[in-house]
Amino acid sequence: MRTMFKVMALAASLSASVSTYAFAEDTVEVLHWWTSGGEAAAVGVLKDDLQKQGVSWQDMPVAGGGGEAANTALKARVTSGNPPTAAQLLGMAVNEWAEEGLLGDLTSVADQEGWDKVVPDAIKAFAVHDGKWQAVPVNIHRPNWLWINAKVFADNGLEPPKTWDEFNVVADKLKEKGIVPLAHGGQPWQDTTIFDDVVVGIGGPEFYKKAILELDESALNSDTMVKVFDQMRKIRGYVDPNFSGRDWNLATAMVIKGEAAMQLMGDWAKGEIVKAGAKPGTNILCVAAPGTEGTFLFNTDFFAMFPVGEDKVAGQHKLAASVMSPSFQEAFNLVKGSIPARTDVPGDKFDPCAQKSMADLKAAQASGTMMGSLAHGHAEPAAIQRAIFDVVTQHFNSDMSSKDAVAALINSVNSAK
């Protein structure tokens, strides 16, 4: 009898184990900084898609539009030996983690699904290391956009500016009428978003390549760079007094509400515009930042995958496959404001601003003017990026002369190398 009970107990135990195994969900823990309204809605698209596949989503949001706080949290997790399944990273950060040998390998998924054929080379340069796929591109953002409240411009008889000289004329007219010309948040990455636009807009794509991507000292020390800081000083006079520390999405809200006329910001602003019930390209106009038509500055959000236990690999691979599926790339980017990282996703469901972005990307790829954004982590390693941030923000918030800013820029870059 006692033996029978033991057999029955063992059978029950095995049955419970099999049942637990059969119904256990794959789980992914994802660290990211998508916390604004439009961004959170975009994350919901991915979460829902995975849940339909039986993958449980553990959210680890870390607020901060530039991702600095999230990167700090990620380093703490990895250092403690407890990395998340995946983490949102920008391009240069993916490179840095890969060079440390701390990322997982997604090549089997990539080969099975043919990612090589549908992802632009400029994006693959960040996702693939030593022949291995180690990160998944979620989108392609274009930071060099100028967003315009159409009603404010129409009411004041203004046309979208195509050059920085035209921008200054428009901004002066708005300022004379008591209208805030430019909505801005005084944070280093936002200041440098504008700086990127001014460098391209005044110097052109070749100058941006030499000065920002190559750190050519003759370009950094040129009269053109002095003019860049001259224009930054003008822009400082077009923002409202309360700009310091303002989050980017609050600046976008100012444009949506007509409290400011324009914003220089990436197309993630479109997620806020849509969420507010406004129409991109109609209520809020989208034009390339002054002087940057024909140049496509880009940044891409990646999910970098970290080495995980065998029990988590299946969930990680499902996450990677889901992110790269054409259906998800379409659904996510429709909400996020960006365009798909896959070139084979049709644009018929996208708004006019996204369709322009898709067309401009294709043209920039052909002309060699698709270039990584400094402000958004696709031009220089973190140390050099921070060095330039410091100078740009110091100049923007002081009476530092343009020539002194150029000298400080060179010294900071050389010290950070």
What is d(CA 371, CA 386) in angstroms, rounded to the nearest whole number? Answer: 19
Angle of CA points 344, 349, 353, to nearest 5°: 90
Beta strand pairing call for 135-137 and 302-305 = antiparallel
CB 161 within 8 A of CB 317: no
The answer to whether residues 91 and 374 touch, using CB atoms and an 8 Å cutoff, is no
CB atoms within 10 A of CB 256: 21
> Is residue 128 scored above 60 in pLDDT?
yes
Would the pLDDT of 17 be above 80?
no
1: pLDDT strictly greater than 80: no
* pLDDT digits 0-9 by tens, 243-272: 999 999 999 999 999 999 999 999 999 989
Q: In the chain, what are the domain boundaries?
A: 27-141+299-356, 145-298+377-416
Distance CA 317, CA 315 (A): 5
Q: Which helix (H) or strand (E) holds 297?
A: strand 296-298
Strand partners, 129: 132
pLDDT tens track for 378-414: 999 999 999 999 999 999 999 999 999 999 999 999 9
pLDDT in the model for residue 36 = 83
pLDDT of residue 3 exceeding 70: no
Q: Which tens digits make up the pLDDT trace of 336-364?
A: 889 999 999 999 999 999 999 999 999 99
SS3 76: helix
Q: Give the separation between CA 261 and CA 177, rounded to whole angstroms.
A: 12
**Has domain 27-141+299-356 been given CATH number 3.40.50.2300?**
no
Closest CA to 321 of 127, 147, 114, 154: 114
Percent of the chain predicted with pLDDT > 70: 94
Q: What is the pTM of this model?
A: 0.87
Tell me how far CA of residue 244 lies from CA of 188, 222, 241, in angstroms: 10, 30, 8
Tell me the per-residue pLDDT of 100-127, one tens digit each, with 9 for 90 and over: 999 999 999 999 999 999 999 999 999 9
**Mean pLDDT within 287-315:** 93
Confidence class of residue 323 from pLDDT cuts 50, 70 and 90?
very high
Give the pLDDT score at 308.
Answer: 85
pLDDT band at 312 (very low <50, low <70, confident <90, very high): confident
CATH code given to domain 145-298+377-416 = 3.40.190.10
Does 145-298+377-416 match 27-141+299-356 at the fold level? yes
Which of 32-41, 216-225, 302-311 has maximum average pLDDT?
A: 216-225
Comparing CA positions, the residue from 351, 330, 299, 306 lying closest to residue 65 is: 299
The pLDDT, as a whole number, for residue 150 is 98
Express each pLDDT in 194-232 by its tens digit. Answer: 999 999 999 999 999 999 999 999 999 999 999 999 999
Other Cβ atoms closer than 10 A to 5: 9
Average pLDDT over residues 29-49: 87
Q: What is the mean pLDDT of the chain?
A: 91
Measured in whole angstroms, the distance separating CA 388 from the mean position of its chain's CA atoms is: 18
